[in-house]
Amino acid sequence: MLTTLTISSKKDGSPISPAELKEVHTAKVHLLIFDQTLNDYQHIHPTPSSKSGQYTFTWTPKKDGVYRVWADLIPLATNNQEYVVGDIPAKVNNTFPVEKTISVKETKDDLTYTLTFDKSSLKVGESLTGEINIADKDGKPFQGLEPIMGTFAHIVAVSEDLQTIEHIHPLGAENPKPTEKGGPKLQFHLTPSKTGYLKFYVQVQVNGKQLFIPFGIQVNS
């Protein structure tokens, strides 16, 4: 599906061109796309079109219903991370509930990913340090993560009401060399902004293949 995204200034509605955006993690615009159930997440980089302020991308929805898009970008004028939010309409605008599966351990392609935090209870407004440990099929620490967009992982956390989102990266040096490997631990900081269910996706690359690892946690008041 070919889709066009228009990015314009809040002040005067003027189009925002690529020349006005800072390149971050190898791209000027990161599109973080979720379906209503939070079970289909896609990370896409759109291409500027011939018309200023318009960006196009091709994607394939895996679920029915409306999709929400966050365009993650940094305008040069402010040098602050901002999100431009929009919805991709569906032919039938049915509402689908979020599947609130609590999960901190997932296995994919013979690798097991375990999510932990430095506090037993996650509360709104409290700073947390999260850690993802990766083990191979024999339970041994896995150190074969490949660089992906200037880091060893991209972590996205979205609230159950699809109103807030965090796009964060592991602690440590960025822009590793193409031959460098990462793992078995990925640490990151997070400060939950609201109560309720929070869906995580950890995007990594192993043997040239991009993987999206889902987790689900509960944030308390």
Q: Residues 5-26: pLDDT tens digits?
A: 999 988 888 999 999 999 999 9
Please say if the pLDDT value at position 93 is more than 80.
Answer: no
Tell which of 28, 61, 88 closes a domain.
88
Cα angle vertex 146, ends 143, 149, to 5°? Answer: 140
- Please state, in angstroms and rounded to a whole number, the distance separating the CA atoms of residues 65 and 88: 9
Q: Residues 124-173: pLDDT tens digits?
A: 999 999 999 999 999 999 999 999 999 999 999 999 999 999 999 999 98
- Return the percentage of the chain with pLDDT > 70, whole number: 100
The pTM assigned to this predicted structure is 0.95
Q: What is the mean pLDDT of the chain?
A: 95
Same domain as 145, residue 75: no
CATH number of the domain within which 169 lies: 2.60.40.1930
- Boundaries of domain holding 16: 2-88
